[in-house]
Structure 1
């Protein structure tokens, strides 16, 4: 028996609406999956060194991922005036800030007997070195010994010798900055604090050179 024209029209409209609804659900599902994939990699911090913050004795190289100390300083014609630049201490900050999550990066040290690596608040004073103040947290290597430094406190770190490469693990919410032995993928020492503002990777150097490695996954077990 043939169906009335009105019934056929309603069926067609229902089918069309169902197709649109199904298409929308599929689209939302795809977007949700994409968002999940994006969020799963958010802890892989990628950064370069910010030339605007670098003291005039520090020269960046290898696409701003490395820094070398020059006794005579960088050619003054190559150093632009910037209020972000450290004025009295050989310090440089990264160009990315951290305000949440867990992040891991590594540092290769070459021919340096005195350096500091860690994090500092974006607004840390450009007239002070990283380590002695309350706006930075660093691991310092000097006179063949390691120290954890912040707010004029120096705590010896039981790490024998100077490895060529070390890791740093930052847990922003937990207020932890850890020095990691890259050979064993184990934490050597952890500094505990409470971060109130965003921080960024920070480096100080008085001889030799260091190379940064970011965009790394956190080693299993850390």
Structure 2
């Protein structure tokens, strides 16, 4: 068993779409329908212009990592990882440089390269875990009540990854620096 590195990250304001407000020392995001006027947001090449997406500020290139996300009042969101250099003109989950778990229309799905695979998860938990094992090429959606991996995506990661989040209503709160729950092998 490799040691779990307790990944600590904040949300990277430089990548945040103008409709996403960061709060709680950059660990949470709120979707604002109107958002900021994009012309009032510093124009930098790392920012998502067309999609309500934000990245975490840590780059991951090895190890096993675990974090959790609390979902508040959101009916449409995506959680997962993306290559740090992913094009900012694309949405997470629609290309082959991001691997996401999403929730929309009261259903969960896994999403890569614009292919959606239904995830059988009853109801919508208020808090879920994400497990990333870089070398094993595993991204898992974790039911923290049980705890168990509900669904996993297998992929050969080839470059630096960042935690990635998409949000189209409500708010998300990230919890990093956590111990991986017992029994997730």
User: Shared fold (TM-score greater than 0.5)?
Assistant: yes
Provide the C-alpha distance between the structure 2 equivalents of 1:75 and 1:90, rounded to a whole number of angstroms.
14
Offset of residue 77 of structure 1: 7.5
Provide the C-alpha distance between the structure 1 equivalents of 2:82 and 2:39, rounded to a whole number of angstroms.
28
Q: Which of the pair is proportionally richer in helix?
A: 1
| Matching residue of 1:127 | 89
Offset of residue 82 of structure 1: 1.2
Provide the C-alpha distance between the structure 2 equivalents of 1:203 and 1:84, rounded to a whole number of angstroms.
14
Matched, 1:184 2:157: no
TM-score (norm 1): 0.80
| Matching residue of 1:141 | 103
Offset of residue 80 of structure 1: 1.4
- Which protein is bigger by CA-based radius of gyration? 1
Matched, 1:197 2:173: no
Give the match's secondary structure for 1:201: strand
Where do residues 57-136 of structure 1 align in structure 2 (5 Å cutoff)?
57-74=19-36, 79-136=41-98
Structure 2: segments with no counterpart, 5+ residues? none
Which string of whole-angstrom CA distances, capped at 9 and with x for unpartnered residues, describes residues 97-149 of structure 1? 11101000000000000000000000001001000100000001000000000
Provide the C-alpha distance between the structure 2 equivalents of 1:74 and 1:211, rounded to a whole number of angstroms.
20
| Matching residue of 1:212 | 174
TM-score (norm 2): 0.96
Query: Following TM superposition, where does structure 1 have runs of at least 4 consecutive aligned residues deviating by more than 3 angstroms?
Result: 75-78
The CA RMSD over aligned residues, in Å, is: 1.4
Q: How many residues align?
A: 183
